Structure 1
Amino acid sequence: MNFDLKSLCQKKIAVLGFGTEGKAVCEFLVKQGIINLTICDQNEKLNRSSFTNLKFKLGKNYLEDLIEFDLVFRSPGIKYFSPEIQAAVQKGVEISSSTKLFFQLCPCQIIGVTGSKGKGTTSSLIYSILKENGQDVYLGGNIGRSPLEFLDQLTSNSIVILELSSFQLQDLDHSPQIAAVLDIFPEHLDYHQNFEEYLTAKQQIARLQTKAGYLIMDQNSPYQQAFVTLFPAQKVLFDSRKTTALAKYQFPLRGKHQLKNFQAVLEVIKLFKVEEGVIQRALANFKSLPHRLEFVREHQDVKYYNDSYATTPEASIAALQSFTEPLILILGGSDKGTSFEELSKAIINQPNLKSIILIGQTADKLEKVILQYYSKRSSKCHSGLSRIYHPRLRDDKSKIKIKKGARDMQEILEQARQEAQPGDVILLSPACASFGMFQNASDRGEQFKRLIQAL
């Protein structure tokens, strides 16, 4: 810990965004006696009662005049490359974040996990196993808890596991001692300028590692070279195609992608010499995280799974391929300009998929793309191989049925349940963001769970 917090007392500081990380920054700084803070947020009705001694700048112009500050703490949802922040950078304003401040102050080893899917579950598995092993371990980051909340509890013997998003990594000027990089595919392209910027943000997890650090990655990743050839840390590469060694574990989660991420977990905990019995006990007690292929309940011999955090086609493809039971898929949401071509291919080629409930803004777009791919495939195959049932196509119970038009989660579930029979699975895995019908992905998943629990 070589960062002098007292130096901040002389600075004029802005905190951009008053969500989880913005609040954590304010609470932490105020505890240190640093009160020359201005909270900047677009919500004009923000509750100010917790920080009555601080200044507020609220409304649509909350990002204006950042050059007036010496130091700006950016929340992850605010783009680093926004014109306002870049104008401040050009004028010499220091841009920081909750994550950056934690790295500057943390007295112990940090394990960082990033990727496009599964980083929350992977981080939680590492935490659970090390906790079972008796380590003084803490979990934070993108998973929903700012590490500043537990900073004062850490000692030099503690271990911190951080789930790190591209938003948090983008302007980070430190790297964790141990970095695990999971699968990467195009995501958040409504936030990042392009995929290259997204990949560059992910690379920050390893860019500033030293030769004493460890970089853990699947050797089959198409982006392996973008990490292992550029950065100095010791490389720990596993082969996701070789899974026989995993058979001895009672792994509690569905999906090949989960097994691949578990291989990364095992490589991390090998560095701590964890015994097999400890791993087995931790796995026996581990539950899937909320909204991530989360088993909700079984009702009338139908199982319900909530994968509301699957906001990309790639995530939903992984979920789709995690089931062998007859499947009803709830798909769709708000449109981020995403291509659904690969998802359409996966849908047509999934033999157990019997019905799709299309929802939200992307319902018509998804229907069109799926039918287009159906037409391409059926023109190249024998007619018996075509798998879509649709009002414009002939009825066949062996084919996939498409339904849409539901206006809320109640109607969505009614449509899905109409298609379900004993032994089926109903899966919410939207492949899209949630805005429009729901407040966010958590709200979408919570509504789904509440209605199912009320059956």
Structure 2
Amino acid sequence: MNNKLNEFKTYIKNKKVAVLGIGVSNIPLIKYLYSLGVDVTAFDKCCKDDLCCVIDQFKGLDIKYSLGDGYLKNLKGFDVIFRTPGMRYDLPEILSAKEEGAEITSEMEVFFDVCPARIFAVTGSDGKTTTSTLIYKILKKQGYNCWLGGNIGTPLLSKIDEIKETDMVVLELSSFQLHTMTKSPDVAVVTNLSPNHLDFHKSMDEYVDAKKNIFNFQCEEDKLILNYDNDITREFKKEAKGKVLYFSRQQEPDKGAGLKNSCIFYKDGDREIEVVNTKSISIPGVHNIENYMAAICAVIDYVDVKTIQKVAKEFKGVEHRLEFVGEKNGILFYNDSIASSPSRTIAGLLSFDRKVILIAGGYDKNIPYDEMGPHIAKRVKSMFLIGQTADKIHNSLKDEINRTGRGKDIFVCKCETLEEAVKKAYDSAFCGDIILMSPASASFDMFKNFDERGKKFKGIVKDILNT
């Protein structure tokens, strides 16, 4: 029996509850809260006409709404307020409601409070989804009943009645979700950290502090897995409360995962295990070797090595992550729409053994692009740029040319749309070329999200393949 869940149900029943944001994750939340006898009001900045398809999903339910401009002005008189990820906790309307006695929480915070199962959680600037998916697939292949949620999979609070103590839960957590967390998972993974989401966070320090909540509330028997090769995450060990494992491509950690003779090994004191040969990993890129290392550290106490090896051979990757789309006339197309930061695009460039034709650019998150220049100069044949960050990306190359002279032969073309960029990239390509869409930017200037951007790219490519 899940006593914590029963306590939550008793507490929340008949409460007046506000849910801020009617996005994908909050639709199941609203339905679940309503099923518990909650008086629910859904808030969203979009107007009713824009949300008609969403509101249709609540037919037959007595849900109230506050929509459109000034929608938060009605945030008064509520007992509990569920904040959506991506909405700051310190908005004046939220702070005012808190002062009046409202409890401010989120779907993920409540889930941590009531989940009976062991929780594995992954955060980082890059690699979160792939690492989370790897952990999930390895545990599932071993035979555990597993749940995948957070930023991916199903919003799990709506499934909490089905989750048992013997299950395994795997979560991908963003800085938005972690920002106000006061509980940490049993097994925490931080893949890496670099400047990101500085359009939301007030500073890099605030962004890093939000990420630290994945381990800030752990205890001695919990596990924290850190990237030794990343200057920021390496230092987290000093603040850790649980057992710390490192993973590294450059060093041989005493406790954790390393790389030796093209084989990932796991070491803990005198115990050293050869886990998987990197040549048998189906998904490309050195960053995916790191993702495997992180996942291995997370699951090694719960699975057989053979299970990890089977997943390495079978797992072909997650959509929009260096996803092979197709080939025409010897020209290869890859979709890396998930790459919403310079570090992610750099990892993509390093995944190929030859120079690529790069399509990049998008929404500006106020992060620096200086580090891209040297990698563009070394790894890019030509570049087709779109969106708000086109000039920043181009300027990173110009700075490299001015410093070293490298990259001056790279052709750069600025385009108005993704379709224009893809077609011009294809027209410029020869047999053997790779066209990589890896934006190094968020998607919000042209698309709702990276998923829509990636699907648009694949649609354009498929039109080219079929002509």
Question: What TM-score comes out, normalization by structure 2 length?
Answer: 0.89
| Aligned residue in 2 for 1:254 | 284
* 412-421 vs 231-240, which moves further: 231-240
| Aligned residue in 2 for 1:387 | 407
The 2-side partners of 1:375 and 1:238 are apart by 36
| Aligned residue in 1 for 2:270 | none
Mapped pair 1:125 → 2:141: no
| Structure 2: tracts of 5 or more residues without a match | 251-257, 265-275
Q: Give the conservation status (yes or no) of the 8 Å contact 1:20–1:144.
A: no
* 45-54 vs 94-103, which moves further: 45-54
Shift of residue 73, structure 1, vs aligned partner? 0.3
- Secondary structure at the aligned position of 1:139 is classed as strand
Shift of residue 335, structure 1, vs aligned partner? 2.2
The 2-side partners of 1:112 and 1:21 are apart by 17
Q: C-alpha deviations, 1:189-229, integer Å up to 9, x for none?
A: 10111111111111111111111111111233322465322
Alignment coverage as a number of residue pairs: 433
| Aligned residue in 2 for 1:156 | 165
Mapped pair 1:295 → 2:324: yes
Mapped pair 1:19 → 2:28: no
Mapped pair 1:366 → 2:393: yes
* 50-59 vs 234-243, which moves further: 234-243
User: Which of 448, 452, 458 is 1:443 aligned to?
Assistant: 452
Mapped pair 1:264 → 2:294: yes
Q: C-alpha deviations, 1:5-33, integer Å up to 9, x for none?
A: 12112421100000022112111112223
The 1-side partners of 2:434 and 2:400 are apart by 25
Task: Pick closer, same or farther for the CA change 1:153–1:327 going to 2, 3 Å.
Answer: same
| Aligned residue in 1 for 2:375 | 346
Q: Give the conservation status (yes or no) of the 8 Å contact 1:326–1:423.
A: no
- Secondary structure at the aligned position of 1:206 is classed as coil
| Aligned residue in 2 for 1:394 | none
Q: C-alpha deviations, 1:52-91, integer Å up to 9, x for none?
A: 4111000121122434211100110211232222233333
- Secondary structure at the aligned position of 1:339 is classed as coil
| Structure 1: tracts of 5 or more residues without a match | 379-385, 389-398
User: Which of 419, 422, 428 is 2:428 aligned to?
Assistant: 419
* 45-54 vs 182-191, which moves further: 45-54
The 1-side partners of 2:174 and 2:26 are apart by 16
| Aligned residue in 1 for 2:441 | 432
| Aligned residue in 1 for 2:352 | 323
| Aligned residue in 1 for 2:214 | 205
Q: Which amino acid aligns with 1:402?
A: V
User: Which of 321, 335, 344 is 1:306 aligned to?
Assistant: 335
Shift of residue 171, structure 1, vs aligned partner? 1.0
Mapped pair 1:33 → 2:42: no
- Secondary structure at the aligned position of 2:25 is classed as helix
Q: Which amino acid aligns with 2:346?
A: I
- Secondary structure at the aligned position of 2:371 is classed as helix
| Aligned residue in 2 for 1:218 | 227
- Secondary structure at the aligned position of 1:173 is classed as coil
- Secondary structure at the aligned position of 1:63 is classed as helix
Q: Give the conservation status (yes or no) of the 8 Å contact 1:20–1:145.
A: no
| Aligned residue in 2 for 1:332 | 361
Task: Pick closer, same or farther for the CA change 1:140–1:299 going to 2, 3 Å.
Answer: same
Mapped pair 1:453 → 2:456: no
Q: Which amino acid aligns with 2:210?
A: A
| Aligned residue in 2 for 1:44 | 47
Shift of residue 134, structure 1, vs aligned partner? 0.7
| Aligned residue in 2 for 1:393 | none
* 431-440 vs 122-131, which moves further: 431-440
The 2-side partners of 1:257 and 1:225 are apart by 17
Q: Give the conservation status (yes or no) of the 8 Å contact 2:126–2:191.
A: yes
Task: Pick closer, same or farther for the CA change 1:238–1:363 going to 2, 3 Å.
Answer: closer
Q: Which amino acid aligns with 1:354?
A: K
Q: Which amino acid aligns with 1:387?
A: G
The 1-side partners of 2:170 and 2:384 are apart by 37
Shift of residue 276, structure 1, vs aligned partner? 2.4
The 1-side partners of 2:101 and 2:235 are apart by 31
The 2-side partners of 1:10 and 1:150 are apart by 21
The 1-side partners of 2:451 and 2:221 are apart by 38
The 1-side partners of 2:441 and 2:327 are apart by 25
Mapped pair 1:6 → 2:10: yes
Mapped pair 1:147 → 2:156: yes
* 59-68 vs 6-15, which moves further: 59-68
- Secondary structure at the aligned position of 1:207 is classed as coil
Q: Give the conservation status (yes or no) of the 8 Å contact 1:214–1:234.
A: yes
The 2-side partners of 1:445 and 1:336 are apart by 19
Q: Which amino acid aligns with 1:416?
A: A
* 172-181 vs 216-225, which moves further: 216-225
Q: Give the conservation status (yes or no) of the 8 Å contact 2:357–2:382.
A: yes
Q: Which amino acid aligns with 1:295?
A: F
User: Which of 62, 75, 79 is 2:84 aligned to?
Assistant: 75
Task: Pick closer, same or farther for the CA change 1:165–1:414 going to 2, 3 Å.
Answer: same
| Aligned residue in 1 for 2:419 | 410
The 1-side partners of 2:100 and 2:209 are apart by 24
Mapped pair 1:235 → 2:244: yes
The 2-side partners of 1:336 and 1:269 are apart by 34
Q: Which amino acid aligns with 1:5?
A: K
| Aligned residue in 1 for 2:382 | 355
What is the RMSD of the two structures over their aligned residues, measured on CA atoms?
1.7
Q: Give the conservation status (yes or no) of the 8 Å contact 2:400–2:407.
A: no
The 1-side partners of 2:316 and 2:92 are apart by 42
User: Which of 407, 411, 418 is 1:401 aligned to?
Assistant: 411
* 195-204 vs 144-153, which moves further: 144-153
The 2-side partners of 1:451 and 1:116 are apart by 28
